[in-house]
Amino acid sequence: MRCSYIRLLVDDYEACFRFYSDVLKLPVLRGDEHSRYAEFDVDSTTRLALNQREVMAEALETDTADPGLPHQDRMAVVFEVDDVDATAARLVAAGARQVMAPRDWTAWGIRAAHFRDPDGYLLEVSRPLI
């Protein structure tokens, strides 16, 4: 697994986009001020991404799913893998708590599965759809 993204799940997407693009001057690789998702070059193989918080909560049905967790996540750590299904099966077999089984997220251009660590943080294993 390679950590490919740190994804911040933000409430005020437009203000955060302007902060990272205009204040920090990070080059925008994907998205814009209104797209609700953007990726920034942080001079590393790992990218920084912003995602409108509600978009992720709706996609993973976490806005009401578990009373022990915040209604919407604040961040996700994204690991790129060669085989999402095999990695997800290995993680489940090892005892990882799966949030969403592997599936194609065509709007996002990825195949991904989602998990939680023991403290409830959201983890994604994914690969680009090509």
Is residue 122 within 8 A of residue 99, CB to CB? The reply is yes
CATH number of the domain at 2-128, please? 3.10.180.10
What pLDDT was estimated at residue 69?
54
The CA-CA-CA angle for residues 58, 53, 82, to 5°, reads 75
Q: Domains of the chain: which residue ranges?
A: 2-128
Q: What mean pLDDT is reported for the chain?
A: 87
**pTM (two decimals):** 0.72
64 has pLDDT over 70: no
% of the chain with per-residue pLDDT over 70 = 92
% of the chain with per-residue pLDDT over 90 = 54
